[in-house]
Structure 1
Amino acid sequence: MAVKIDGTIKKRVQSLMALNGQSYEEWLNNQHQKYLNEQSEVIDRLLKKELERKKGTNE
């Protein structure tokens, strides 16, 4: 379920990060990368299943 980000909170976080010399976009990208890394087993399992499925349809 998608949840809309509270604009006020986002702006506050962006302002605080700017004061600390941090990039919100860079931080967000790092969060995405971290999540993908944490889900690597799921991703690998799905890729394996898809490769097996494609191999089965090509035979």
Structure 2
Amino acid sequence: MYFSAITFATIGYGDITLSNEWQLASAIEGVNGILLFGWTTAFLFKVSELWSSRRDADQNIAQP
């Protein structure tokens, strides 16, 4: 669990190393961490943008 968390977060302390058979899985897990971080950031920005535009639209409707 510790290794996965460190690899997924792409911190990579290096205190645990995998055997050759598992190194590809480790690389895939690291890339997956980078991709999911990017997707999560993009999702949060989109939600923030939609929330902001909805709030602005509600304010325009409320004002005569």
Is the radius of gyration larger for structure 1 or structure 2? 2
TM-score, normalised by the number of residues in structure 2: 0.36
TM-score, normalised by the number of residues in structure 1: 0.38
Larger RCO, structure (CA 8 Å, separation 6 or more): 2
